[in-house]
Homo-oligomer: A and B are copies of this chain.
Amino acid sequence: MIVVMRPGSTQADVEHVVQLVKDFGLTDHVIVGTDRTVVAAIGDKRNVDKSAFEAYAAVEKIVPILAPYKVASKEVKSEPSLVPIDKNATNVIGGKKIGVIAGPCSVESKEQLLEIAHAVKEAGAIGLRGGAFKPRTNPYSFQGLGEKGLELLAEAREATGLAVVTEVMSIDQVDLVCKYADVLQIGTRNMHNFNLLQACGRTDKPVLLKRGWSATLDEFLLAAEYIINEGNQNVILCERGIRSSEEYVRNTLALSIVPAIKRESHLPILIDPSQGTGHAYMVPAMSKASVACGADGLLVEVHHDPEHAMTDGAQSVTPATFKQMMEDLKPIAAAVGREA
């Protein structure tokens, strides 16, 4: 950490800061520049609240040097993590094969789910997404079928062999969802729900962690560490668009996070082009872009009758579009040394 002193700081000010550095159990190193004095504080103290230095009036700002994340970083584990998404580890996320998880936003009925599940399986998906517990901004909206939805997902797995990926919204749902799901999804609204992260970290299920609406890269990886620190190494990251000032999309899909994650972390990352744009017509183009820039897979909303979908109809592609898109992804995956 670097402590930058304000212009005009006195020797006493610098000594005060040096003492604070020592109070924190760190080693000080003073550098007198032409316009500013800075105090470097040496030592690895990730648990210290460094902002406290800024409480001293002669301090202009604190500049952290170390990235705050650790076990999610490449410094700790340099080779990419492969995360199995089903019991037998038939399929993994993070390997050569682009892993596509597809399905309806919400589980609505047996007929709906099976029709879509068969379609996405046939088109090449390895996982089935579908919400049984739905986090809805609007309390008056459809909230999901609950356990009934989980049962239908398990049935669809039986019928298709697809791994089941479904959201868990609350710590009291973790056991129940674990009973049915292959992968626990933590939604964007819960990325900062640390108790839920920890609860999922104590299960033996892989966790698909979606980035918060305005989460920084640091926060995203630290959320992953909350899970990993409980003993669960199987974390799959997922970018799904951020809040911005753009008006023509529901969210701004921040694809540059893919090369950033690949540089900083060993964890695999998926892209959700459905949530990430809000428009079905953009999904094929942005899926191609995702694969082209190095994403390990996709999370795609598919519905056989989007106009009557109970949730997210506007951003759900039809099975026919999905099938074509999966075909179109093949040469792109090949172009970046992957398989789709």
Contacts and interface: CB of A to CB of B under 8 A. Distances in A.
Interface of A: 2, 4, 7-8, 20, 23, 29, 31, 33-36, 38, 40, 42-44, 46-47, 49, 51-57, 62-63, 65-66, 68, 70, 75, 135-142, 169-173, 189-190, 192-196, 212-214, 216-219, 222, 225-226, 229, 242-249, 252-260, 263, 276-282, 285-286, 288-294, 303, 306-316, 328, 331-332, 334-336
Contact of A138 (B43, B53, B68): B68
A66 B196 CA distance: 34
7 contacts: A170-B196, A216-B246, A248-B260, A252-B254, A289-B289, A331-B332, A332-B336
Contacts of A172: 171-172, 195
Contacts of A169: 193-195
Contact of A332 (B33, B42, B140, B335): B335
A244 B252 contact: yes
Given A33-B40, A263-B281, A332-B336, 7 more contacts: A52-B308, A53-B307, A139-B226, A242-B245, A256-B282, A331-B332, A332-B332
Contacts of A40: 31, 33, 38, 40
Contacts of A52: 306-309, 313-314
Contacts of A335: 288, 328, 331-332, 335
Contacts of A280: 54-55
Copies in the complex: 4
Contacts of A291: 292
A49 B307 CA distance: 10
Given A328-B335, A335-B332, A141 B277 contact: no
A258 B282 CA distance: 9
Nearest to A66: B35
